[in-house]
Amino acid sequence: MPTMEEYAKQPTAQRLARLTRTADELTAAIKGQSDAALSRRPDAKNWAAKEVVCHLRDTEEAFGARFEQILAMETDPKLGGPSADRWAEERQYLRNDATEAAGAFRKRREETLATLRGLTPAQWNKGAIHPVRGRMTIDTFLTLMAWHDDNHLDQLTRALEGKA
């Protein structure tokens, strides 16, 4: 799995291709899995596969909202939001249907890709202030998303194998 730094060196088209594959890979990973298998956490700290799917769905919605905000504003907006673990608890990820969550992720990812593919060169450099990472451009977000997809697909696979 490439690091964030390695992804940052890839051409835009290659990073977009990574994002394009994720919905299919996610669907394939959960296909035929029982709800029990999808809901089983490898340990007390790490997420179950179903929680990973729901996290991807919800972060995709957050990325889309961030892009809308960045593109609409003249100055860099400040970003924030709840932690991933808080979302998992408050949104009761373990009670969600993983197949439905994967379908919602696919829809949101298609919207995100349409937005990204429609950007002008100048828009790729528009940005926002992330509370931990500092200023991030849309291009930087693309790098983060590519890495994030790989990271969580790997986490999902490990969870299904019962590994942290």
**CATH number of the domain residue 154 falls in:** 1.20.120.450
Going 19 to 20 to 21 to 27, the CA torsion angle's sign is positive
Residues sharing a CB contact under 8 Å with residue 7, sequence separation 6 or more, in sequence order? 15, 18, 143, 146, 147
**pTM (2 decimals)?**
0.95
The Cα–Cα gap between 67 and 109 comes to 13
Instruction: For 36-75, write each residue's pLDDT tens digit.
Output: 999 999 999 999 999 999 999 999 999 999 999 999 999 9
Task: Using a pLDDT cut of 90, give the percent of the chain over it.
Answer: 96
Total domains in the fold of the chain = 1
**Structural domain for 79, as ranges:** 4-160
Distance CA 48, CA 23 (A): 18
Residues 116-145, mean pLDDT to the nearest whole number: 96
- Give the whole-angstrom CA distance, residue 139 versus residue 127: 9
Interacting residues of 149 by C-beta distance below 8 A, sequence separation 6+: 18, 19, 22, 56
Distance CA 122, CA 78 (A): 20
